[in-house]
Amino acid sequence: MPYEPPTHTVERSLRATTGAKVIAGVDEVGRGAWAGPVTVCAAVTGLRRPPAGLTDSKLLTVKRRTELAVVLEKWVTAYALGHASPEEIDELGMTAALRLAAGRALQDLPVRPDAVILDGKHDYLGAPWRVRTVIKGDRSCVAVAAASVIAKVRRDKMMAELGADHADFGFAANAGYPSPVHKAALEERGPTPYHRLSWAYLDALPRWQHLKKARIWADGSVPEIEGQLGFDF
């Protein structure tokens, strides 16, 4: 399916209206997975013409995405990755975990950005960063698209490595997201050390429900976990 290539329109707008010179595009991957970290990439690209075929990582084949990531890692001005572990997700919730991972990525850039273009409509990052949210920014903004591809390829590789000792779960193919293979392995073997134990999938696994972790606010309420998929998705 043809798609419009991403542009520097938002970045040019930020430069003109705020005086920002270093602008990072930020995107995440792993929000809805049952296992593994949530990963955020921050990428600085400047206003150069991007490599051909750049778009949202979800629109690319695995082969094309992997090839493009190699090109992008050399092409971008700078990039950095940040992760929040399953344990941090269970303890903090997804919004706070995303903030933690994004903060780690931004702090690891060699130059502190003056502004951030964040994919989506919700600013989970907040102060002290100057943030512009863009719905479908991973398709329309060059820096966010670059971050999208790098984050996806790097996290997929990480999940394949983590899954080497848990072959039944198929992490190399599903990256910790729900799939028939993943679901069958969970029912039979229970969660691995890489699973998010506050996630709703455990509600449908009577043998393993005792492992579920609940975050409880000071008023005694149990918050909903954002972005998760239940077992019967």
- Per-residue model confidence as pLDDT tens digits over 45-85: 999 999 998 999 998 999 999 999 999 999 999 999 999 99
- The pTM for the full model equals 0.90
Determine whether the annotation assigns residue 27 to a binding site.
yes
Model confidence band, residue 3 (pLDDT cutoffs 50, 70, 90) = confident
pLDDT of res. 214: 80
Q: Report which residue type is found at 65.
A: R
Q: Is the dihedral of CA 59, 49, 9, 12 positive or negative?
A: positive
Determine whether the annotation assigns residue 28 to a binding site.
yes
d(CA 27, CA 150): 9
d(CA 214, CA 196): 11
Is pLDDT at 217 greater than 90 in this prediction?
A: no
pLDDT digits (tens, 9 = 90+) for 171-185: 999 999 999 999 999
Q: 């009577």: which residue's tokens?
A: 206
pLDDT digits (tens, 9 = 90+) for 88-104: 999 999 999 999 999 99
d(CA 185, CA 193): 14
DSSP 8-class letter at 226: T
Cβ pair 3, 130 in contact under 8 A? no
Is pLDDT at 218 greater than 50 in this prediction?
A: no
Between 221 and 124, residue with greater pLDDT: 124
Is pLDDT at 222 greater than 80 in this prediction?
A: no
Cβ pair 120, 137 in contact under 8 A? yes
* Percent of the chain residues past pLDDT 90, beyond the cut: 85
Determine whether the annotation assigns residue 87 to a binding site.
no
pLDDT of res. 21: 95
pLDDT of res. 4: 85
